Chains A and B, each alone.
Chain A
């Protein structure tokens, strides 16, 4: 027995040496490199904005030859219209009391239903991808102001390439912070009473409205939807909307609201547009659609 201990000991020591010296891992393997040429798949329009195909996912446009139509409609709240309590009651702002909620409550604009008409305000209805075409852009910049610590336009559709002029009508500073998906974010401080403004230009259309916040006043929120075509609308106080000059055809609109469960009220709202005036739509939603 005694004699066997020695070789075992030697083996142990050697084994230990070999086993423990085998450290390393990721830092000691050298990767292989392969080259991929700059060009994407042959024939793809390199660097161009992807254009909508005639038959694509989000929308199913089958433009019919001849004429454009106007689509009108209303978003209606089916049920007892909810009245949300104000976010900040008059004179009770957690900060900047002399300006914010100084003369009026700061309303909760996340869901505004007209008590008389039951119309839902600030619902976005838009085409994700428009039929091909060259659509004239507005010549004037959009204006986006803030007053009494409220973004004065809570929900708006803007155009790609057309500046949105961010203004400040309050005697205090605000910062405007956007959270886009495809565009570059903006986080810009606006000094008090800045009427010269800071231009914000979206370079690409978005699929859902972009949230705009003010980090200094946590309750301030707004939504901007940049599109590269004019076929979108935000509903007015009575829930009505209007989309003009739509080439006749079958469309699938997206209907989006900030309180909608899962974002969209309708991901594919199919409408066939005839040339000229179309039958006004009445689109009804219930409290449960808004998570109430």
Chain B
């Protein structure tokens, strides 16, 4: 009897705990700061975090910074009528929006709730600075509390000093960003992490590791070397997945969700790169280690900190302005059609001769494909057994083989398996050869090969999964003949 009562009591306690956890809000999502921020001296850490937060916000209060080429989801409209304040806490306006976005059925909040409101004109007068006002603080950070698409009644979450007048233009900014964040947190965050740092809860168990967006480096793009991916590239990756890795295909995900996720990933990438660059600026002179060394070298600690303060006040904001411009340009540039890497000539017909020429190139000293991919394309070239130097620490990595830009071991592709991470179209293989694979040792061969040579190589690479020792011998014989006839 006692035992039974104990059991009953325990169950009740456990269930109560469950219920309480429901009453308490779930732990708030945060953007984990760049790992290297911990290496900075204390006085440098906070300003960096603050600068990034001020410009990009937190996961629950995102900043739609208009300096960035991100489509946050903008709805324009017009005030039809401003209703008098009812309960004295918020404003109600009747508005006419040019369009109302479609939200998924299971959208967890009232339509447009939390979206930013910016007036283009207020009280009949135009408003400058992105619709955000003069100094009147009560007009900054306006958000939608409720919107009824049927009646067009818009309730603001904050109170305004004076009412807008009928005919004022306004913009609702951020519905796409919201949708991207919600969809990202549902589908992507497990691996890619809240901040897009490739460090979600499942990340440690995955090989290859999920992409860390914060360097702006994405491997499989249709753009030139060093260029960011286009929206279409990211969309393709989400839709098709990356075979051979843990990135699954989200083929059936709603179009609106995919587009919103693409924008949100771009947003996170820009945020991460911005943060990274700020840390870069500080880490050389103001890391804990550097400061200790400088003190050893005879400088006064207080002088260094004064210098840091001046730097943070006078120079870092300018560097930040410059950096964001550079990052924004890099992402803006790739959306132009001329940014795409497109072959000038159509694919050479996939003949035996073409493959033979391709194989010759594959084995040649011109390209040295073999050094990584191995003579039979198994991805077992000699470089996979070489120890590489870590450029950051000047020490050899403790494991043999190649290393990517994120410091993770990386294997050259085994070309015999017929799994092509960036896609299996001839165009995809062309781009991998022409552009290289960003963030990896795979270099761009644009300067070393002409158009026909790349196509020959594409033809050969695509035939490797089906080749045998016999076909290899035949190809070599044909290649030898071709060389002889050339001479």
Contacts and interface: CB of A to CB of B under 8 A. Distances in A.
Contact of B63 (A12, A36, A198): A36
Given A33-B64, A211-B391, A182 B280 contact: yes
Contact of A218 (B12, B21, B181, B388): B388
Contacts of B178: 30-31, 33
A172 B443 CA distance: 15
B11 interface: yes
Interface stretch (B53-61, B94-102, B476-484): B53-61
Interface string A40-66: 110011111111010111100000000
Nearest to B8: A8
20 contacts: A20-B18, A22-B22, A27-B189, A29-B29, A29-B60, A30-B107, A30-B114, A31-B59, A31-B60, A33-B64, A33-B173, A33-B174, A38-B130, A40-B321, A44-B317, A53-B314, A95-B371, A188-B225, A189-B436, A189-B448
Interface in B212-240: 225-226
A177 interface: yes
A118 B366 CA distance: 41
B394 A258 contact: yes
Chain B facing A: main interface SS:
mixed
Given A56-B315, A94-B386, A191 B447 contact: yes
B429 to A, nearest CB: 16
B340 interface: no
Given A187-B443, A189-B444, A26 B185 contact: yes
Contacts of A194: 447-448
Most chain B beta-carbon contacts within 10 A, residue among A26, A48, A171: A26
A208 B130 contact: no
Interface in B107-122: 107-109, 113-116, 118
A171 B389 CA distance: 25
A18 interface: yes
A284 interface: no
B63 A34 contact: yes
B246 interface: no
Interface in A142-198: 171-173, 175-177, 179, 181-182, 184-192, 194, 198
A187 B22 contact: no
A24 interface: yes
Contacts of B442: 187
A181 B19 CA distance: 50
Given A29-B60, A187-B444, A218-B386, A213 B226 contact: no
Nearest to B113: A30
Interface of B: 8, 11-12, 15-16, 18-19, 21-22, 26-27, 29, 55, 57, 59-67, 72, 107-109, 113-116, 118, 129-132, 141, 143, 173-174, 177-178, 181-182, 185-186, 189, 194, 225-226, 277, 280, 284-285, 289-290, 293-294, 297, 299, 307-308, 310-311, 314-315, 317-322, 324-325, 364-368, 371, 382-383, 386-389, 391, 394, 402, 405, 436, 438, 441-449
The 3 closest A-B pairs by CB, nearest first: A33-B174, A37-B130, A22-B22
B189 to A, nearest CB: 7
A230 to B, nearest CB: 22
A216 interface: yes
Nearest to A168: B448
Given A177-B441, A192-B366, 9 more contacts: A15-B16, A25-B29, A26-B26, A32-B143, A36-B63, A173-B448, A187-B443, A216-B368, A263-B284
Chain A interface residue bracket vs B? 35 or more
B319 A50 contact: yes
Contact of B315 (A18, A40, A50): A50
Contact of B322 (A22, A34, A47, A184): A47
Interface string A200-215: 0000000110010101
Contact of B321 (A47, A57, A190, A261): A47
A99 to B, nearest CB: 8
Contacts of B115: 33
A38 B293 contact: no
Nearest to A176: B443
Contacts of A132: none
Contacts of B394: 258-259
Nearest to B14: A19
Contacts of B289: 262
A10 interface: no
